[in-house]
Structure 1
Amino acid sequence: MTTYRARFDGGVGFTNGGGLQVQGFLVDVPSAEVTVEQVGELFLASLGLLMAGEVTISNLEIVEAPHKGTRGGPAAEAGETGQGPGRFVELSHVIRDGMITLPNLPGPRFGKHLTREDSRGIYAPGTEFEIGEFTMVTNTGTYMDSPYHRYPDGHDLTGFQLERTVDVPAVVVRLDDSAKLGIDAAALATYDVQGKAVLLQTGDDARFGTPAYVENAHFLTEDGAEWLIRNGAVLVGIDAANIDDMTDGTRPAHSLLLGADIAIVEHLTNLGAVPVSGATFTAAAPLVEGLGTFPVRAFARTAY
């Protein structure tokens, strides 16, 4: 579904005096045919302004772009009222023989425990099977981190209740046009994350599998992680090489989130196909005992 945003310069006067001016402001709009009056209403709604007076809009441009969930806009309304079976959106990278997730880790190796040819000597004529085998590091493809990944006394992948990782209401934080690599509390402050899977869309997934994937990669800052914990997020995902700044070995986002029993899903993809709100997120790892990390099949279910 094609979505649109309005870019404009604008101003609003307040009935108790004073005013506010903006340049190049952006709001989500329901269609390319939106009127200037509707844009003005969405401008006021997005800021939650009180005692607003006259609104002026100039240099209006309607652009085709994913909704960011501006307050009072169409994405917010869909998240509150969307009904129906919806659709599924794949958010995982395909695991392939020899693929590279991170340049410092080996790729998976596929093989065969039993070939079809060899199985013909075991089964009845006309019946054959293949049993494959593979070896990999657990940080391969799109994967989930549990507290044991960071802390020796934290629970492993078997410790997450399904309610925390399956059909969790999701909010997508669109950051693919941000000039900042660090995702801090200020970038998250307008989102309702209570009980939500917070999915950070940076656009870095376009470079997955290339050396550039780890260069100038986006990450969650320490105060961003603290804000998510304080505001009740239950899972945090990102479409970048690491939820932490890989140029710094301190890893505060991992430490804080996993310490608060919040699952982390790294190396997501295709988040642009998920609405800002109104979808649910699923990323269930196998019940593997004694591991802190393992690949998942991550996907979203949308309401439309």
Structure 2
Amino acid sequence: MRLIDLSSPVDASFVEPDPVVHEVLSPREGAEHMSAEMREHFGVDFDPDELPDGEFLSLDRLSLTTHTGTHVDAPSHYGSRTTYGTGVPRHIDEMPLDWFHRPGMVLDLTDAPTGVVGADRLEKEFARIGHTPDPLDIVLLHTGADARVGTGAYFTDFAGLDGPAVHLLLDLGVRVIGTDAFSLDAPFGDIIARYRRTGDRSVLWPAHVVGRQREYCQIERLANLGALPGPYGFQVSCFPVKITGAGAGWARAVAMVDD
């Protein structure tokens, strides 16, 4: 079995709407930190120099949102109320694990310009590859946006889905939709420009708003979808980190290819 990494990194040097702060304690600083913690909380004095090489363990502290890097959006991210189920959307720690380890399918949208892709475009791709997703398959959108990761253009130049396109996938039984772009919706600037031009509220983040009507998850900020060996015939694993009460969780997305 061959493993293909489909994840983009969390990197404090990248351009981000919410900058990442990454602080690192070296093994020596970790020893001093441990010594201070033992003294404060346990009343124990311990000289860091007694440790081998005077070092203990390194420690990383990060400040970032759950939407940094490759992550899975939970239904609670889309709004506070739903028109399905109990009316209360589930958080990321409440989602069924079997949604996140399923057969995968990748759709080539690399020719799509910045803006929205509709249901007709997805249907043409199904016809081209001669395959439609089965229920609970994970559908991945290869837009090519990951080539711009770490730059400002990553947040402004990509294609997202409109509402009917999301409904089409959900009608087929898909519950997890992924993209290598910043968002499953079109870029903010494109959305606002179309809204100002038309006054139509249905263009305002439709891919996310659909999640208030139908339960599903998104994987955003994937990478390396061009390395997949074909449009289907592989497994995707993208288990989100279990953060209680959160609207999203980071994921290490991987494709498994049986060679």
TM-score by length of 1: 0.65
* Corresponding residue for residue 154 of structure 2: 213
Return the alpha-carbon distance in structure 1 between the equivalents of residues 122 and 245 of structure 2: 33
Instruction: Indicate whether 1:164 and 2:131 are aligned.
Output: no
Give the CA deviation at 1:130. 2.1
Alignment of 1:228-239 (within 5 A): 228-239=169-180
Task: Specify every segment of 5 or more residues in structure 2 that has no aligned partner in the other structure, as ranges.
Answer: 36-46, 81-87, 193-203
Give the CA deviation at 1:228. 0.7
Instruction: Indicate whether 1:192 and 2:132 are aligned.
Output: yes
Kept in 1: contact 2:179–2:222 (CA 8 A): yes
* Corresponding residue for residue 288 of structure 1: 243
Return the alpha-carbon distance in structure 1 between the equivalents of residues 19 and 258 of structure 2: 38
Return the alpha-carbon distance in structure 1 between the equivalents of residues 257 and 23 of structure 2: 34
Mark the structure with the bigger radius of gyration.
1
Return the alpha-carbon distance in structure 1 between the equivalents of residues 62 and 113 of structure 2: 40
**What is the RMSD of the two structures over their aligned residues, measured on CA atoms?**
2.2
* Corresponding residue for residue 301 of structure 1: 256
| Helix, strand or coil at the partner of 1:248 | helix
Instruction: Indicate whether 1:272 and 2:200 are aligned.
Output: no
| Helix, strand or coil at the partner of 1:278 | strand
Identity of aligned residues (%): 24
**More deviation in 231-240 or 148-157?**
148-157
Return the alpha-carbon distance in structure 2 between the equivalents of residues 117 and 161 of structure 1: 40
Which of 8, 19, 26 is the matching residue for 1:106?
A: 19
Amino acid at match of 1:224: A
Return the alpha-carbon distance in structure 2 between the equivalents of residues 132 and 107 of structure 1: 12
Kept in 1: contact 2:114–2:157 (CA 8 A): no
Rate the CA distance shift 1:129–1:253 in 2: closer, same or farther, 3 A: same
Amino acid at match of 1:230: D
Question: When the two structures are aligned, how many residues end up with a matched partner?
Answer: 216
Amino acid at match of 1:211: G
| Helix, strand or coil at the partner of 1:284 | coil
TM-score by length of 2: 0.76
**More deviation in 227-236 or 105-114?**
105-114
* Corresponding residue for residue 42 of structure 1: none
Instruction: Indicate whether 1:174 and 2:108 are aligned.
Output: yes
Rate the CA distance shift 1:135–1:179 in 2: closer, same or farther, 3 A: closer
Return the alpha-carbon distance in structure 2 between the equivalents of residues 97 and 180 of structure 1: 26
Structure (1/2) with the larger helix percentage: 2
Kept in 1: contact 2:117–2:160 (CA 8 A): yes
